[in-house]
Amino acid sequence: MKKVAKKEIKKLDERLAFAQRQLRSLGSSVIIVVEGWGASGKGKLINDMILPLDPRGFCVFTKSESDEEKRYPFLRSYMTKLPKHGEISIFDSSWYRKTLNKYIDKKILKSDFEKDIEEISNFEKIIADDGTLILKFFLDITKKEQKERLENLLSKTQTRWRVSDEDILNNQRYVSFKNVFKKMISKTDKAYSKWKIINANVTEIASYEIKKAVLSAMEEKIKEKNLSLDPKKPQIPEKADTDFLKKVDLSLDISKKDYKKELEFYQKKLFDLQNIFYLKKIPTVIVFEGWDAAGKGGAIKRLSGGLDPRGYRVFSTSAPTKEELSYHYLKRFWNNFPKSGHIAIFDRSWYGRVMVEPIEGFCNEDEYKRAFWEINETEKILYDNKTVIVKFFIHISKDEQLKRFEERKKNPEKAWKLTDEDYRNREKWDEYVCAIEKMLEKTSTSYAPWHTVSGNSKKYARIYVLKTVCEAMENYLKKEEKEL
Amino acid sequence: MKKVAKKEIKKLDERLAFAQRQLRSLGSSVIIVVEGWGASGKGKLINDMILPLDPRGFCVFTKSESDEEKRYPFLRSYMTKLPKHGEISIFDSSWYRKTLNKYIDKKILKSDFEKDIEEISNFEKIIADDGTLILKFFLDITKKEQKERLENLLSKTQTRWRVSDEDILNNQRYVSFKNVFKKMISKTDKAYSKWKIINANVTEIASYEIKKAVLSAMEEKIKEKNLSLDPKKPQIPEKADTDFLKKVDLSLDISKKDYKKELEFYQKKLFDLQNIFYLKKIPTVIVFEGWDAAGKGGAIKRLSGGLDPRGYRVFSTSAPTKEELSYHYLKRFWNNFPKSGHIAIFDRSWYGRVMVEPIEGFCNEDEYKRAFWEINETEKILYDNKTVIVKFFIHISKDEQLKRFEERKKNPEKAWKLTDEDYRNREKWDEYVCAIEKMLEKTSTSYAPWHTVSGNSKKYARIYVLKTVCEAMENYLKKEEKEL
């Protein structure tokens, strides 16, 4: 192996900095994963890579899962660390680490290992589809080299603490590790997120190789981005194949007396369930979608009226801010997914991606089409993390909506709720029906089913919601009991 | 005590919701702290308070310090939870809790208790000065009532877990607790953040009292805000009282040979210090300010060139985004303060508040005038948390700046760094000198001194920076050794 000339490195560094600026102006993000053997030189190699870059545009994340993060699906902490459009996130160790460690320590069933691998691949696909370049490096050193490096670290007071007993043990288990790494790499080497194995026995050469690989992938991306065609407008089906909404019986109602009785009954029951779920550390996600003025807010108020505020939060989804638009559209929801034992209530949600966004042209055809899969996979990740998911679509008739709009107009306490946009949306009622039908059809899964709610009677809808949430939570407990 | 009529509560709720919307449109934030005895009904009372509000505009935070948060000054986690302008943050237990607990368990020296109290008061003042309404409630119940409530909780399977042995012990120590609470409250009852003690023996009445108090403070705030005068433009002194910059010897230089030698020497030394500080869990803050083209970027690159990237981060401060502008100006820096053992390097910083902001009119006279105190107190909080703080102002001559601008213009690799703004800033050189002198005078403290750096020779400046950081870290270690 020959040494790399200093001049050549300088030139490479300048090109890297230039590529970073170009990608930034194109709004293309990059994710760089650096995995590898213990003592393979990750720190030094990452520092070499970032020094030529503008620090405004990248961030290095180090493995280390806080106890707070342990209360979420393991992928969440990475989802929330995704780069803004045009920026770079570098992961020193990554979402592979936890599963790898569990596998090596034999703390994971084969089926769960496969499930993790699938989740990881889906996660990477969701990100890559958004236009993010994913580069994964594995720093490879020989068993002998690793042993020498560990001994070298141990020989100095300054660095001795960096070597744990486990590191030494791991060096002895080098061969079996190698097999696990190989398996992991081969299973997750995808067109949209390729692995590159770097010979890291000579750090200087490895550094040059990594930078060259990063630069070449970046330049490729720039070319591709410059060539890419104008995105197509999303196509909502003109006629619905299903009739979920028509099937909702809008005449359902409840007497005032029964309403009061049931409200009290289910609020108390839900409070008890909140307690049990808190103790059992089970998270709950409740999604509310529905027509304007369908009564989402009122239903949420009755749902949360009896809860302990320290264990639930309501997230109202409005149009994304400029800041939010500069990330993957799912990120702002990932931020708000509940931790173990908590309840997250979404007043509108990620389903905006398949309703208002395509109708108003806020996403393109590709984005619209792949959203169904993305959403199902995301909810699957929550479900795999033992989350109870309940989704409501509150349906009302077009006449009932008009009536409620007029009432709001007259009532000074409620007039602020009514905007011109509500009337504009109303004009697109039929278009929305088609989008909603498609959504209900494509995203109702066994683990996260939709409940269509008869909403012409607000009271009926509120009780239905409360009852359905209680039932979903009770069913979870029953299922859990059965499995034991 | 009489019961509160349902109609009256409904009216109060409507007025609360209305006040929330008004404050939102005025951009005024509210912080509500709810402290009180164990079993005083915090959860129920907070839920009553939030149900009438629009969930888009508030957030409830529950005490619970993650292990990650323990690696920062205890106030940081609250600083990062401050409401956006126009929003409400509700704290179930708060920044008082940790100090209170330590005091009760006799785990804190009297002097440290006083220091915490002072930090808390300063923290509240910094927030209140920004226009945030701070309301602090203490929920008071009698010893007998507390005992009954604990027994009641213990008697049911669903709620038994909520009562710890400590709760029962604390009920027995009621009187000594009461004294600590009283002391804390009297010491932190300020005009800008008043305490209100709520008799919480009857939850329903307490709920009404809290809401009434919140409403009245909000309505007061709305009136005040509507009356407030237009803010004045900031006044930079026209002549500097000091001559720190003039005293910098700009002729200082270093030979290429010495530069190479010292660079290597100090980078190695700094790497070792980074290791020691990491092990000792001491955080370091390094601030870079200086003229455009003074060489901040180059100095930072040499400073970080030898570091382990997993233990440092460079934060470049550009103009705040719209999102950032909707918070207290210090929040974005609090977000980036280093955790224990880590190094945060700021390429420009919070000192923008006393340089570019007053000169460009991005802050008003009041904000400019109080910024010096705010900054000193903030750095004091870091220092009290054992942070090493090193601040550099890199000085160059006006001629040298022009030379560098011209060089950048010619060099295609560097031309992007040069903007029209750089030339505009240059025209304001003398105004900047006055602002900088005032900054150096007012914010050079024993615990966070400024170092003016001779920057006409880039090489000299880089070595000076490296050496000064090493010295500051070594001095810290020496001082620590002496204290043991």
Query: CB distance from A92 to chain B under 8 Å?
Result: yes
pLDDT tops 80 at residue A447:
yes
Cβ contact A304–B18 (<8 Å): no
Confidence (pLDDT) at A306: 86
Chain A residues with CB under 8 Å of B42 CB are: 310
Cβ contact B318–A56 (<8 Å): yes
Round to whole Å and give the CA distance between B343 and B285.
6
Nearest to A308 among B43, B300, B309 (CB): B43
User: In B, residues 438-457, which contact A (CB 8 Å cutoff)?
Assistant: none
Q: What are phi and psi of A53, to 5 degrees?
A: -85, 160
Round to whole Å and give the CA distance between B114 and B116.
5
Confidence (pLDDT) at A366: 95
pLDDT tops 80 at residue A33:
yes
Q: Which residue of B has its CA nearest to A55?
A: B314
* Sign of torsion over alpha carbons A20, A23, A29, A31: negative
Chain B residues with CB under 8 Å of A161 CB are: 275, 279
User: In A, residues 331-370, which contact B (CB 8 Å cutoff)?
Assistant: 347
Chain A residues with CB under 8 Å of B92 CB are: 309-310
Chain A residues with CB under 8 Å of B413 CB are: 14, 17-18
Q: Which two tokens stand for residue B448?
A: 């966070």
Query: Which of A27-41, A50-64, A458-472, B249-263 is predicted with the least confidence, judged by mean pLDDT?
Result: A50-64
pLDDT tops 60 at residue A316:
yes
Confidence (pLDDT) at A349: 98
Q: How confident is the model over A65-118, as pLDDT tens digits?
A: 678 888 899 999 999 999 999 999 999 989 999 898 888 888 888 888 999 999
The pLDDT of B194-202, averaged and rounded, is: 97
The pLDDT of A437-442, averaged and rounded, is: 98
Distance from CA of A376 to the nearest CA of B (A): 26
Query: CB distance from A124 to chain B under 8 Å?
Result: no
Please answer whether residues B252 and B454 qualify as being in contact, where contact means their C-beta atoms are separated by less than 8 angstroms: yes
Chain B residues with CB under 8 Å of A41 CB are: none
Confidence (pLDDT) at B228: 82
Please answer whether residues B327 and B82 qualify as being in contact, where contact means their C-beta atoms are separated by less than 8 angstroms: yes
Round to whole Å and give the CA distance between B189 and A427.
55
- What is the three-state SS of chain B? CCCCCHHHHHHHHHHHHHHHHHHHHHCCCEEEEEEECCCCCHHHHHHHHHCCCCHHHEEEEECCCCCCHHHCCCCHHHHCCCCCCCCEEEEECCCCHHHHHHHHCCCCCHHHHHHHHHHHHHHHHHHHHCCCEEEEEEEECCHHHHHHHHHHHHCCHHHHCCCCHHHHHHHHCHHHHHHHHHHHHHHCCECCEEEEEEECCCHHHHHHHHHHHHHHHHHHHHHHHHHCCCCCCCCCCCCCCCCCCCCCCCCCCCCHHHHHHHHHHHHHHHHHHHHHHHHHCCCEEEEEEECCCCCHHHHHHHHHCCCCHHHEEEEECCCCCHHHHCCCCCHHHHHHCCCCCCEEEEECCHHHHHCHHHHHCCCCHHHHHHHHHHHHHHHHHHHHCCCEEEEEEEECCHHHHHHHHHHHHHCCCCHHHCCHHHHHHHHCHHHHHHHHHHHHHHHCCCCCCEEEEECCCHHHHHHHHHHHHHHHHHHHHHHHHHHC
Query: CB distance from A180 to chain B under 8 Å?
Result: no
Q: How many CB atoms lie within 10 A of CB B160?
A: 11
Mean pLDDT computed over every residue of chain B: 94
The amino acid that residue B151 corresponds to is E
Q: Confidence band (pLDDT; 50, 70, 90) for A484?
A: confident
Cβ contact A321–B323 (<8 Å): yes
Q: What residues contact A279, with CB distance under 8 A and at least 6 apart?
A: A341, B161
Q: Which residue of B has its CA nearest to A346?
A: B55
Q: How confident is the model over A7-19, as pLDDT tens digits?
A: 999 999 999 999 9
Please answer whether residues B428 and B401 qualify as being in contact, where contact means their C-beta atoms are separated by less than 8 angstroms: no
Round to whole Å and give the CA distance between B221 and B30.
10
Distances (CA, A) of B412 to A78, A236, A299, B447: 37, 48, 61, 42
Distance from CA of A316 to the nearest CA of B (A): 5
Q: How confident is the model over B371-390, as pLDDT tens digits?
A: 999 999 999 999 999 999 99
Confidence (pLDDT) at A2: 63
Distance from CA of A350 to the nearest CA of B (A): 16
| Cα-trace Rg, chain A | 26
Chain A residues with CB under 8 Å of B161 CB are: 275, 279
- Which is higher by pLDDT, A414 or A231? A231
Query: CB distance from A161 to chain B under 8 Å?
Result: yes
The pLDDT of B63-92, averaged and rounded, is: 89
Round to whole Å and give the CA distance between A225 and B458.
38
- Which is higher by pLDDT, A286 or A161? A286
User: In B, residues 28-57, which contact A (CB 8 Å cutoff)?
Assistant: 42-44, 46-47, 50-51, 54-56
Q: What are phi and psi of A442, to 5 degrees?
A: -90, -15
Q: How confident is the model over A377-435, as pLDDT tens digits?
A: 999 999 999 999 999 999 999 999 999 999 999 988 788 888 888 999 999 999 999 99
Q: Confidence band (pLDDT; 50, 70, 90) for B19?
A: very high
Q: Which two tokens stand for residue A168?
A: 């030494």
Q: How confident is the model over B96-143, as pLDDT tens digits?
A: 998 988 888 888 888 889 999 999 999 999 999 999 999 999 999 999
- Give the number of residues written for chain B: 484
Round to whole Å and give the CA distance between A319 and A394.
20
Query: CB distance from B66 to chain A under 8 Å?
Result: yes
Cβ contact A413–B18 (<8 Å): yes
Query: CB distance from B159 to chain A under 8 Å?
Result: yes
The ipTM estimated for the assembled molecules is 0.87
Nearest to A322 among B51, B318, B322 (CB): B322
The pLDDT of B74-90, averaged and rounded, is: 94
Cβ contact A313–B347 (<8 Å): no
Q: Which residue of B has its CA nearest to A302?
A: B51
Q: Which residue of A has its CA nearest to B345?
A: A55
Confidence (pLDDT) at A110: 87
pLDDT tops 80 at residue A64:
no
Query: CB distance from A59 to chain B under 8 Å?
Result: yes
Round to whole Å and give the CA distance between B153 and B147.
10
Query: CB distance from B304 to chain A under 8 Å?
Result: yes
Round to whole Å and give the CA distance between B327 and B86.
10
By C-alpha distance, which of B246, B449, B236 is closest to B354? B236
The pLDDT of A297-311, averaged and rounded, is: 94
Angle between helices B110-129 and B97-104 (to 10 degrees): 170
Q: Which residue of A has its CA nearest to B63?
A: A310
Distance from CA of A241 to the nearest CA of B (A): 35
Round to whole Å and give the CA distance between A324 and A331.
8
| Cα-trace Rg, chain B | 26
Round to whole Å and give the CA distance between B287 and B452.
12
Q: How far is CA A19 from the centre of its chain?
A: 28
Percent of chain B clearing pLDDT 90 (strictly above) = 85
Please answer whether residues A29 and A82 qualify as being in contact, where contact means their C-beta atoms are separated by less than 8 angstroms: yes
Confidence (pLDDT) at B2: 63
Confidence (pLDDT) at B230: 84
Nearest to B301 among A51, A92, A316 (CB): A51
Query: CB distance from A157 to chain B under 8 Å?
Result: no
Cβ contact B322–A318 (<8 Å): no
Round to whole Å and give the CA distance between A142 and A201.
7
Long-range contacts of B144-153 (CB under 8 A, 24+ apart): B145/B201, B146/B37, B146/B38, B146/B39, B146/B40, B146/B171, B146/B174, B147/B171, B149/B39, B150/B38, B150/B39, B153/B39
- What is the three-state SS of chain A? CCCCCHHHHHHHHHHHHHHHHHHHHHCCCEEEEEEECCCCCHHHHHHHHHCCCCHHHEEEEECCCCCCHHHCCCCHHHHCCCCCCCCEEEEECCHHHHHHHHHHCCCCCHHHHHHHHHHHHHHHHHHHHCCCEEEEEEEECCHHHHHHHHHHHHCCHHHHCCCCHHHHHHHHCHHHHHHHHHHHHHHHCECCEEEEEEECCCHHHHHHHHHHHHHHHHHHHHHHHHHCCCCCCCCCCCCCCCCCCCCCCCCCCCCHHHHHHHHHHHHHHHHHHHHHHHHHCCCEEEEEEECCCCCHHHHHHHHHCCCCCCCEEEEECCCCCHHHHCCCCCHHHHHHCCCCCCEEEEECCHHHHHCHHHHHCCCCHHHHHHHHHHHHHHHHHHHHCCCEEEEEEEECCHHHHHHHHHHHHHCCCCHHHCCHHHHHHHHCHHHHHHHHHHHHHHHCCCCCCEEEEECCCHHHHHHHHHHHHHHHHHHHHHHHHHHC
Query: CB distance from A322 to chain B under 8 Å?
Result: yes
Query: How many Cα atoms sit within 13 Å of A454 on the Cβ side?
Result: 14
Cβ contact A47–B309 (<8 Å): yes
Round to whole Å and give the CA distance between A127 and A122.
9
The amino acid that residue A151 corresponds to is E
Distance from CA of A46 to the nearest CA of B (A): 7
Round to whole Å and give the CA distance between A54 and B405.
19
By C-alpha distance, which of A279, A225, A215 is closest to A480? A279
Cβ contact B416–A62 (<8 Å): no
Cβ contact A46–B310 (<8 Å): yes
Mean pLDDT computed over every residue of chain A: 94
Query: CB distance from A310 to chain B under 8 Å?
Result: yes
Round to whole Å and give the CA distance between A286 and B404.
58
